[in-house]
Structure 1
Amino acid sequence: MSPQHQGRTVEPSESAKWETRTRSEFIEYYARQSLSAASEKRSRELRDKLLKIHNDQGRKLNVADIGCNAGTQSRVWAELGHRVYGVDINEELVRLAHARITEAGLEGAFHIASATSLPFADASMDVCIAPELLEHVADWRRCLEEFARILRPGGVLYISTTNRLCPVQHEYDLPLYSWYPASLKRRYEHLAVTTRPEIANYATYPAVNWFTYYQLRDYLKGLNMECSDRFDNMKRGQNPLRRFALYAIQLAPPIRWIAHVASPSTSVMARKLSPRTPP
């Protein structure tokens, strides 16, 4: 089965209901940042971790890169021969991602589309990646439902997003913003899209959602997904202090909660379970 719904590839002319363009400062920042050595390293490390969790055994996978940005994550998967399908609502970034993967002599399909209505068939993807996306989409529940829909049983989902528990954040140039009351957040969200775009890095869709791992875990559980957090997926390594700290975090729920408070972002790894058998 083809991953794409017949006739559902989204072109710019079909996406008029979305704001698909953005400020030049935003595009220039991500065009530069996506080529950095650190970005390349993070993308390959994430790819390798997801491959290990998926236990692909060398099979070529269908990989959905949701919020693909300039395509770095898509490109590192395509390097290994996996079939990549990038999605972003930003037209300039989608075109840049396509141009870069083509220049590298690799293949990938890219779509201008919303994460709330993905142009892929049910159970057509082996891996779904949604880095730094969920905070920007008001209907975040619909996004999670779409991610679960397109994954096959045994498929793996990766999400990284904002952390409501931690005072450190990178979405707004404001101190302790994660802890602001909702009414004050709404005020700054309005300023970010009107007179003060610089406070949210010139994003067309600034962050409007703030999560905890536990909140996302509980919602994904209802979608038949089994979740783990960043601490479940860390290697203990050789350093005795690190090994002890990670062991304590994994063993004691209160210590794990404190560790989440100290983490500037939330990340979730989830596996889609096989359909439940009726009793």
Structure 2
Amino acid sequence: MGVTGHGVTDVVGKGGSFVQTKAGEKPPPTSSLNPNWAQLQAKLKTGTGKPRARPIQSSTANVNHEKSLLGKRKERSDEESSASALAVLTPKNSDCSLTDVVAMDCEMVGVSFQGSKSALGRVSLVNSWGNVVYDEYARPLEYVVDFRSEISGIRPHNLRKAKDFHTVQKDVAQLIKDRILVGHALHHDLKALLLCHPKRCTRDTSHYLPFKNKEGKTRALRDLAKEHLGVEIQRKQHCPIEDARAAMLLYQKYRKEWEKHVKEQRRFSKKQRRRKIAKKQTEKD
């Protein structure tokens, strides 16, 4: 520190620079900081050399991003599952010949007052491999009040050029004659066709005991298909070809046990008939 004229004093300031102060004023505090460190502090104060702040993504954006990724994965899995489901019902060959076992399913339309009565609108039959051997729309004998399009998939234009009921009935009767008929709740389909079929030649997935629930009640075909075949059917409109294929696959999967069960029932029925006959003879004697 030195004294100059007019009562001004030279004082060494920050960074080694000289600062002049008047007499009686307190000199600014001196610093023992390294000049480089002092320059860095000055830069930080002015904002020069300030490190860039990373843009902060909101938690909402992160969640949305994760959801979109999960959504894409979910969509892919749904598409893959639907594709695999279709593969289950797709026939393994193109043989459309008539086999000893055929599966049938029908779709109904509403006739009579307010469409409360069901009438045949479409019938489909598939062979043992699931290939279509017959698929026809049928024009009912009565006026159609309700096409039930949301479920049956049948629309007015489908029946305009459809075969008449009696022609379809005759065709189906010839196709199922002397063959094992597979289906779900076949009594409804046969009633709509005004046909009957021998019980010994009927394999109904709604009556097969292992397919019933714990209370012994009938389960829906879509539930059986999902549980035993891993395939979803009847998601929107019903397709008789798809339903017939599902019933056929259920039968084919458990055919050995099913036929064994049928034989046991026949034996039991024969024993009961013999007992009744024997009882009648003893009563007469």
What TM-score do you get using the length of structure 2 for normalisation? Answer: 0.27
* Greater per-residue helix proportion: 2
Q: Which is higher, the Rg of structure 1 or of structure 2?
A: 2
What TM-score do you get using the length of structure 1 for normalisation? Answer: 0.27
